[in-house]
Amino acid sequence: MNTEPPAAAVRRIVLLAGPSGSGKGRLGALAGIPLVQLDDFYRDGDEPGLPQRFGIVDWDHPASWKGDDALQALIALCHEDSVRIPTYSIPRSARTGTQTIRAAGFPIVLAEGVFAAELVEPLQRLGLLADGIVLDRPTALVTGLRVARDVRERRKPLPTIMRRAVGLARSQKTDVATWASKGLRPLGFRDALTRVRALMTAADAQTERAGRTEQVAEPPVITVSAVCFTHFTPPGPGVPNGQWRLFSVRKKGTDRFMQPGGKPEPGETAVQAAVREVKEELNISLAPHQLVELGSHRTMAANEAGHALEGTVFLAPQVHNPTDMAIRAELEEARWIDIENPSDDVPIAPLMREFILPALRERLR
């Protein structure tokens, strides 16, 4: 690909991927920022040599899409206030015209589509990537939304829609993992929308300070230590395979659950901060050697809008009696979260959803 940009960028791109029907377009509409729908760069359905699947063109294969055109359009939009791109008809499998995307006054632009992950590396290399997200939602929900949309919009004949629905449902977990491996962060719908809005808030503040002629800076970073307490319920009624749960807390004046922990004091190491915070918040005394470091992860802060968070995560000894866990200090509520199937009704912090739960699933299997 030709990826040489003009000299000075005035905005950057947030990439949004996800399975067909996962809600990318709806999130883009709710985000309130300029939106580039990467589907508009599909190839015409009568072009020779297109990949085939389910008896039709495989529209989920990157070869069905003009990635170089999409990249060049996004590069242009990072340096100019508007760009002309194609208009594409999914039912007709053809380009039907052109449209103008206008981004004047916005420091970030959202680009959504199933091929967004293909643009992570070139945009990152050019310094034009603000963030990358992949929507990770339950397969049954995504399949239902996809079928309802495709039938409503008469995208394809019904037998083709159903064959495609079954095939994509079977591959959804693998597809999301593949996109994540290319640099996209798996998030649920609400957390993804919150993240995009936080990026916009941070970028607006930076642009107001520095002026639109300078490239938008990364949001300020908060460093924290987080401690995971787990409990295993043996197999029994309602839990035939047993159940691993994760202790989570909510601070006063906030709405998201997270792990006990907090910011290190001057001179403290990450593990020292973890030990101190657990004592302050839960009145549990731990020695540093009792904590196993699971790793570090950068994401958006849950409670400080416009800030990034660098979290070092530790695993504490297993809890044998969950009723022994009591909160104090600035904590207001505690809940045990199902590690394998966390409820969508419980709002959880990005660090837990993106890193802690996947790391624990892998470790506890």
- For 344, the token pair is 């969508």
* Mean predicted confidence (pLDDT) in 158-176: 84
Domains of the chain: 12-210 (3.40.50.300), 221-364 (3.90.79.10)
Reply yes or no on whether the pLDDT at 196 is more than 70: yes
pLDDT exceeding 90 applies to what percent of the chain?
39
pLDDT at 216: 47
pLDDT at 3: 45
- Residues 3, 71 contacting (CB under 8 angstroms): yes
Exposed / middle / buried, residue 215 (Cβ in 10 Å: 0-12, 13-18, 19+): middle
pLDDT exceeding 70 applies to what percent of the chain?
92
First CA to last CA distance, the chain: 41
Residue 81 DSSP one-character state: S
Q: pLDDT digits over 106-122, tens only?
A: 899 999 988 999 999 99
In terms of Cα–Cα distance, which of 81, 68, 188 is closest to 122? 68
Reply yes or no on whether the pLDDT at 169 is more than 50: yes
Q: At what angle do helices 24-31 and 189-210 cross, to 10 degrees?
A: 40
pTM value is 0.54
Helix (H, G, I), strand (E, B) or coil at 24: helix
Look at the block and give the residue holding tokens 């039907």: 96
pLDDT at 1: 44
Instruction: Give every CB contact of residue 318 below 8 A, 6+ residues apart in sequence.
Output: 230, 231, 232
**Per-residue confidence band for 360, with pLDDT thresholds at 50, 70 and 90:** very high
pLDDT at 304: 75
From residue 181, give the alpha-carbon distance in Å to each of 9, 92, 112.
Answer: 27, 33, 18
What is the length of the chain? 365
Q: pLDDT digits over 43-53, tens only?
A: 988 888 888 87
Reply yes or no on whether the pLDDT at 8 is more than 70: no
Q: How many CB atoms lie within 10 A of CB 225?
A: 28
- Residues 185, 354 contacting (CB under 8 angstroms): yes
pLDDT at 206: 65
**Per-residue confidence band for 207, with pLDDT thresholds at 50, 70 and 90:** low
pLDDT at 214: 47
* Mean predicted confidence (pLDDT) in 7-26: 83
Q: pLDDT digits over 276-329, tens only?
A: 999 999 999 999 999 999 999 888 788 776 678 899 999 999 999 999 899 988
